[in-house]
């Protein structure tokens, strides 16, 4: 069984989500005061802000009241639109707290959320982060993806590489690979019949996936075909592109990846790669 392509059970997804949250809490607990203030790859956020965000989302999903707080959005240019400002509110609310207080809040909400998810009857939907109902497996995939990416934000900022082959990493990897048709059809709006091949070379996790665009303009997964554009990237670089954590024009990045095929579509691909809100 290939863990990168085989769907996990609901129980396995719940465990991966819990592991992702615990990894963030453990990293945060080990961060020094100086590390807490370091800029992370997530635009506008420090390490402490990332931890506050992970805490706030789970607090929100627990049903806790939203903070009675309005940030000065004029000083927070990265907080754009409804979703950006909604998430920034919980982060900004916690900026006056000590690292120990934020970590303690995260530690407390992890078992609370586990008990709530475990109590949901099989097949019943729950509220998701964007106020829409969704199944538990879908929510677990979404929350694990988001939380694992933020684990990597913290690791990058503090210089503690790791976590590339854990159960949460596999869930996040699957989410990114399965977004390739969306990238090709929706983000890039490639012409019908064109084919994108994305090869992720590792370490730890690998994939070779193809997408095309059908007559309606929708990106869809397809069998191996002669690619119009072919992107080859290591797993960390694929993650950075898919999560908007790197400038697509970065010279170091461009020296590490291989991008071949139609020149115009290839040039447009990297800026279209991000699938995170």
Q: What gap in Å lies between CA 130 and CA 128, rounded to an integer?
A: 5
pLDDT tens-digit readout, 245-262: 999 999 999 999 999 999
pLDDT tens-digit readout, 147-187: 999 999 999 999 999 999 999 999 999 999 999 999 999 99
| Burial class of residue 12, CB neighbours in 10 A (0-12, 13-18, 19+) | middle
Q: What is the pLDDT of residue 176?
A: 97
- What tokens were used for 251? 């010279």
pLDDT tens-digit readout, 97-134: 999 999 999 999 999 999 999 999 999 999 888 888 99
Query: Of 16, 28, 19, 141, which Cα lies nearest the Cα of 94?
Result: 28
Question: What average pLDDT does the chain have?
Answer: 95
pLDDT tens-digit readout, 32-53: 999 999 999 999 999 999 999 9
Pick the more confident residue, 131 or 243.
Answer: 243
pLDDT category at 83 given cuts 50, 70, 90 is confident
Q: What is the pLDDT of residue 131?
A: 80
Does residue 236 surpass a pLDDT of 80?
Answer: yes
Q: What is the mean pLDDT of residues 185-212?
A: 97
Q: What is the largest CA-CA distance in the chain?
A: 55
| Model pTM score | 0.95
Pick left, alpha or beta for residue 206 (phi over 0 → left; psi -120 to 50 → alpha; otherwise beta). beta
8: Cα separation from own chain's centroid: 18
The answer to whether 53 touches 84, Cβ cutoff 8 Å, is no
Does residue 266 surpass a pLDDT of 60?
Answer: yes
Q: What is the pLDDT of residue 98?
A: 96
* CA distances in angstroms from 219 to 5, 31, 84, 129, 213, listed in the order given: 19, 42, 26, 25, 4
For 119, list phi and psi in degrees, rounded to 5.
-85, -5
Does residue 2 surpass a pLDDT of 80?
Answer: no
Full set of structural domains in the chain with CATH: 10-161 (1.20.120.450), 179-272 (3.30.1050.10)
């Amino acid at each position: 069984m290939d863990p990168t392509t085989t769907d996990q059970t609901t129980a396995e997804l719940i465990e991966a989500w819990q592991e992702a949250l615990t990894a963030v809490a453990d990293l945060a607990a080990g961060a020094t005061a100086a590390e807490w203030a370091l800029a992370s790859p997530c635009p506008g956020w420090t390490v402490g802000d990332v931890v506050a965000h992970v805490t706030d989302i789970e607090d929100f999903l627990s049903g806790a009241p939203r903070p009675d707080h309005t940030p000065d959005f004029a000083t927070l240019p990265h907080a754009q639109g409804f979703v950006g400002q909604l998430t920034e509110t919980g982060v900004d609310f916690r900026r006056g707290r000590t690292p120990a207080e934020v970590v303690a809040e995260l530690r407390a909400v992890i078992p609370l959320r586990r008990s709530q998810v475990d109590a949901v009857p099989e097949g019943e939907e729950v509220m998701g982060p964007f106020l829409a109902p969704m199944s538990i497996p879908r929510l677990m995939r979404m929350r694990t993806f988001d939380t694992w990416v933020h684990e990597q934000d913290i690791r990058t900022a503090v210089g503690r590489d790791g976590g590339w082959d854990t159960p949460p990493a596999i869930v996040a990897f699957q989410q990114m690979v399965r977004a390739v048709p969306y990238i090709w059809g929706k983000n890039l709006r490639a012409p019908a019949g064109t084919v994108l091949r994305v090869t992720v070379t590792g370490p730890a996790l690998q994939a070779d996936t193809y997408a095309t665009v059908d007559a309606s303009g929708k990106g869809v997964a397809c069998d191996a075909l002669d690619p119009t554009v072919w992107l080859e990237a290591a797993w960390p670089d694929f993650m950075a592109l898919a999560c908007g954590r790197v400038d697509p024009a970065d010279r170091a990045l461009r020296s590490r990846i291989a991008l071949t095929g139609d020149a115009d579509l290839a040039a447009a691909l990297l800026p279209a790669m991000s699938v995170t809100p």
